[in-house]
Structure 1
């Protein structure tokens, strides 16, 4: 498997010598192949975690009525994945639904392997009655993430769970180790099933405000117990389909320590906005009187405001929580934007840092491309569709990645969409923008609508450089945070406003840039970013996995 001359070289050169020569511009051939072997060696040494998940429909009482939900191994929500940096994750998904199904790993970077991303642009769906095994590594990552179904409107029925990556024991964390941690999956919820919601969207009807909010699949009875004087870590993810959520705990403050893999400055908050698709980690010290307290989640930017509660129980307490509930923000867009600007990267924290190493000096890197993506809502063929720069995305029957890898014509045209907003009516299409591996790119999300947006980029994280009102123009760069902006995978864009991000495209592949608000994504608010170079190398991208599925025009070679 290995080049014999390279193996010989590795025997006679010490690691210290190799590292020194690397930084002294050792030949690119040796650099690349040494990195390949180091990567393969890392995979052999790092732990493997194996999971077998059976996906079924089942009945659960949600909102006091029986509803059909998606279960994983009989659980709603699904089981959490608990792992550590660089662990290898093997998940065999058995699809016992009556329709194709995929799971995507929200924020897991899938280093060098688009093939495991679990969206229809990169994977054929798992047919009913069959299985498929995901294999990927949590390379250089820590933090709070989640997974969920990416097909149809399955996400509105369940199938989601937490994905928590702990730091390796040899890597210190920039805060005292809590005595325990809790995973909170907060979501909006409809009494209508996912099939009915899908039918509404297929008919061109927008979805109404959800019926309620849930915490860990429950509307009011979830509880978490701790001891007075101890500090606990709360991992919080918004796994809903459309609703920004404010989170708070009665009588306690929240110390933010991590956002989607980035250690943050440890600001203290009374409450935190968590937008669709986002995850945060907070520390909570139980320093109040021994009794029980309300944990509150309430909707943001909706009328009416939806509220649900859980309980924080002090060990030994028999005293129920008391009303009133702690007050949260109401509509207050500028309150939320001001809070977002306070979330900053902890530049003194140890690994894992954003990749590539050194990119945290993002404010000094030259931007090679600027994309401005504007979302719009309108009608195409008499039905509601959402678009980006005039193109409402439609999934082809052949995944884009397969078409690209196997040179299958007629599936997509590279750079078929404009990379700045257009004033023409939206049309249906398959949008792919082209970039080169290691491009450093500025992306501006322009929101001309009166609703909040949430955008996710698969395969990498990005620096949230700035938020602003009205229409972005180049002079807005003067407002950017070019020093300690947080690095994350999902970012909100406020009504009639813009958000700017910087991203180092160091992960080769075909990556989904999508609205995290699922009805909008389902009706076309997404595109793909092709990160490419003209060499085939395991250092930059793996070959298709042996168990790859084929569909559409793609046939097994």
Structure 2
């Protein structure tokens, strides 16, 4: 009898355990992270200063996940001001609630935590995260995001021996609060104090230009091996040329799209952009090699100290790197060199992306455009006594109640759906003016840069197709130059000064999505807007419901409950309830048959 009871119990328990395994494997996996955002003291350029760290690290740890993973990031704000974390380039399918910008989220107050939860649905590639408010990115808080292919989806190149992430960017010794004060008072930021590679200053390649005692980045590699090197420009406003001495950069991916593989001796990486290179360690290792990130489109005689230099170290290296740095592009009198380089980056339409179908199966060139917006920027101007940046004559002002919350709770007079399709002809104005996008529409956006400096533009929630760029003013005839077959699909594109870039966007992702310059100073001063994409049918299939842990502010502050950290969990909603129910059932059965 005891044996029979034991066998019955065993059979039932094994059945339940098998069900549990099936239950767990039927759902896409969860990846859980706990991030504490705080100030630390660091000396990236040899001078102690306050920087923003994540888990005590500067830059922060890499978010490394796989396609379709559910990502849960519990963020604890230990700063002395509000915080939002933005996951740049992550599509946030149906879920602008998690985008981490002021149009969709109330900021996380000091000493509070908030848990982001989103799925990297049907996505691969190289991205980064950063704090999106209060000019905080200028003090750090950023880190890389890697979204790997699932095992069943092949990558369009041999598996590299290693995967290396690098963040580069211009850097000021003044922290973000001091830089913010300068902008608020109408002052330009001036020349940066340096360029950092993975949060570190330059290797002392020149005793006059680089003081002693600066920590530099050194990357160890094995001879003969090929590495995937992912590089993101997380800086404030400086375009950087990236190169590795004596090594070819075989471009393979940019912001979630595999590219036609081409060799470059160096590549211009503009603010907010990310690239993957395949680099083979095919040199004789007579010495170490320089890794360089230097400013572009500037007066080089004034920027000699603003160069990032790291070291590529072979395990069999015979000595330290020495001598002059590898030359940057020699194109001072050729405006088209960098633009032609950008045009050469094309989509690999024969490769699979995150799904087992060719990326090029989306024939964007044959889709009818349903709406056209010409967005024109200009140098900053004074509006109502304030120094502001504009987009089509409008300087965006964030309302105290986020747009998405205002829609959810029908709060009136928070914003206006009156962003113009063409630039205003009258005086510029400050307003919360946004674009009324058509769900399932196909939008053509002409980005016209009438500023004197390079800009790059980003749109949350989407990959867009970069179909054309040229100098001068865009006209209707410019459409005849568009690449309608293999224009790269990405999330951030450059727009050269005195030039235009055109992107096409398929508005299939419901939500409120930020469209902005990535130049942090111009963004802070108002060069942004939002695209509102609404499905008129009431359904959770095209947009996820408001999260249980939503923060409230502005006109909805009265809805805010006291902080509840129990909402930070890796298993949520019905999945959590089902899982706990099964555990209780097992416990009951064991007790019954004991």
Q: TM-score, normalised by structure 2?
A: 0.85
Which residue number corresponds to residue 566 of structure 2?
none
Q: Unaligned stretches of 5+ in structure 2?
A: 1-22, 203-215, 561-594
Which residue number corresponds to residue 145 of structure 2?
163
- Say whether 1:412 aligns with 2:415: yes
Which residue number corresponds to residue 131 of structure 2?
149
Instruction: Tell me if structure 1 keeps the 8 A contact 2:65–2:148.
Output: yes
- Say whether 1:75 aligns with 2:57: yes
Instruction: Tell me if structure 2 keeps the 8 A contact 1:254–1:270.
Output: yes
What is the deviation of 1:478?
0.6
What is the deviation of 1:227?
1.3
What is the deviation of 1:349?
0.2
Which residue number corresponds to residue 370 of structure 2?
368
Q: 2:427 aligns with which of 425, 439, 449?
A: 425
- Assess, with a 3 A threshold, how the Cα gap between structure 1 residues 357 and 111 changes in structure 2: closer, same or farther: farther
What is the deviation of 1:358?
7.2
Instruction: Tell me if structure 2 keeps the 8 A contact 1:354–1:461.
Output: no
For residues 104 and 404 of structure 2, the distance between their equivalents in structure 1, rounded to whole angstroms, comes to 5
* 2:145 partner SS: strand
What is the deviation of 1:93?
0.4
Runs of 4+ aligned residues of structure 1 deviating over 4 Å after TM superposition are 41-44, 353-359
Which residue number corresponds to residue 175 of structure 1?
157
Q: 1:199 aligns with which of 169, 176, 181?
A: 181
Q: Which stretch shifts more, 357-366 or 477-486?
A: 357-366
What is the deviation of 1:320?
1.1
- Say whether 1:58 aligns with 2:61: no
C-alpha RMSD over aligned residues: 1.7
Which residue number corresponds to residue 320 of structure 2?
320
Q: 1:472 aligns with which of 457, 471, 474?
A: 474
- Say whether 1:89 aligns with 2:71: yes
Q: How does 1:210-249 map to 2 (within 5 A)?
A: 210-220=192-202, 221-249=216-244
Which residue number corresponds to residue 268 of structure 2?
273
* 1:265 partner SS: strand
Which residue number corresponds to residue 309 of structure 1?
309
What is the deviation of 1:357?
7.8
Q: Which stretch shifts more, 528-537 or 496-505?
A: 528-537
For residues 281 and 454 of structure 1, the distance between their equivalents in structure 2, rounded to whole angstroms, comes to 18
* 1:539 partner SS: coil
Q: How does 1:329-368 map to 2 (within 5 A)?
A: 329=329, 331=332, 332-352=334-354, 360-368=362-370
- Assess, with a 3 A threshold, how the Cα gap between structure 1 residues 371 and 353 changes in structure 2: closer, same or farther: farther
Per-residue CA deviations over 1:197-254 (Å, capped at 9, x if unaligned) read 0001111222112111000000121011111111011000000011111000001100
Q: Which stretch shifts more, 220-229 or 496-505?
A: 220-229
* 2:363 partner SS: helix
What is the deviation of 1:319?
1.1
- Say whether 1:520 aligns with 2:502: no
Instruction: Tell me if structure 1 keeps the 8 A contact 2:466–2:489.
Output: yes
For residues 482 and 353 of structure 1, the distance between their equivalents in structure 2, rounded to whole angstroms, comes to 22
For residues 141 and 162 of structure 1, the distance between their equivalents in structure 2, rounded to whole angstroms, comes to 15
* 2:341 partner SS: helix
For residues 382 and 301 of structure 1, the distance between their equivalents in structure 2, rounded to whole angstroms, comes to 31
Q: TM-score, normalised by structure 1?
A: 0.90
Q: 1:556 aligns with which of 559, 570, 587?
A: 559
- Assess, with a 3 A threshold, how the Cα gap between structure 1 residues 353 and 382 changes in structure 2: closer, same or farther: farther
Number of aligned pairs? 516
Instruction: Tell me if structure 2 keeps the 8 A contact 1:262–1:354.
Output: no
What is the deviation of 1:329?
2.0
- Say whether 1:297 aligns with 2:293: yes
Per-residue CA deviations over 1:149-180 (Å, capped at 9, x if unaligned) read 00111000000000001111111011111100
Q: Which stretch shifts more, 404-413 or 128-137?
A: 404-413
* 1:267 partner SS: strand
* 2:48 partner SS: strand
For residues 162 and 333 of structure 1, the distance between their equivalents in structure 2, rounded to whole angstroms, comes to 32
Instruction: Tell me if structure 1 keeps the 8 A contact 2:350–2:358.
Output: no
Instruction: Tell me if structure 1 keeps the 8 A contact 2:150–2:354.
Output: no
Q: 1:209 aligns with which of 183, 191, 196?
A: 191
- Assess, with a 3 A threshold, how the Cα gap between structure 1 residues 106 and 542 changes in structure 2: closer, same or farther: same
For residues 516 and 112 of structure 2, the distance between their equivalents in structure 1, rounded to whole angstroms, comes to 28
What is the deviation of 1:307?
1.3
Instruction: Tell me if structure 1 keeps the 8 A contact 2:349–2:361.
Output: no
